[in-house]
Amino acid sequence: MEPDGTYEPGFVGIRFCQECNNMLYPKEDKENRILLYACRNCDYQQEADNSCIYVNKITHEVDELTQIIADVSQDPTLPRTEDHPCQKCGHKEAVFFQSHSARAEGPTTVGSRSL
């Protein structure tokens, strides 16, 4: 939460009841078609200042991605070539693979790894 009481984009904080300090839960006011946060312990409700109630950020650890690349080089079904030597070690055999980004809007990466 920012000092002025607003939330940064993509952040959904936990809100607490001003009456009893229990957690507030999202609730729809169907009559007025607005989003509220309501206490399940007392009758306190407040209008939501943001329509976002949940954010799912997916990240992969560097070690996890390294393991995927190590496993890729052992996959016998992937295409291989000896026409593109590695720029770092000079090894001639390489395997080609596609890696999908963790983000839905992210690109598909086509890569190679020397063997």
**Is 89 assigned to a binding site?**
yes
CA-based nearest residue to 19, from 43, 37, 35 = 43
pLDDT tens digits, 25-60:
999 999 999 999 999 999 999 999 888 888 877 766
> pTM value?
0.44
Q: According to the model, what pLDDT value does residue 107 have? A: 45
Q: According to the model, what pLDDT value does residue 28 have? A: 93
**Is 52 assigned to a binding site?**
no
Spatial strand order of the sheet with 34-39 comes to: 24-29, 34-39, 45-47
Query: Is residue 45 a contact partner of residue 38, using CB atoms and an 8 Å limit?
Result: yes
**Is 86 assigned to a binding site?**
yes
Residue with the bigger pLDDT between 106 and 45: it is 45
User: What tokens does 24 get?
Assistant: 């507030």
Task: Tell me the HSE value of 93 on the side-chain side, using a 13 A CA sphere.
Answer: 6
Domains and CATH numbers, the chain: 1-57 (2.20.25.10), 62-114 (2.20.25.10)
Q: According to the model, what pLDDT value does residue 76 have? A: 83
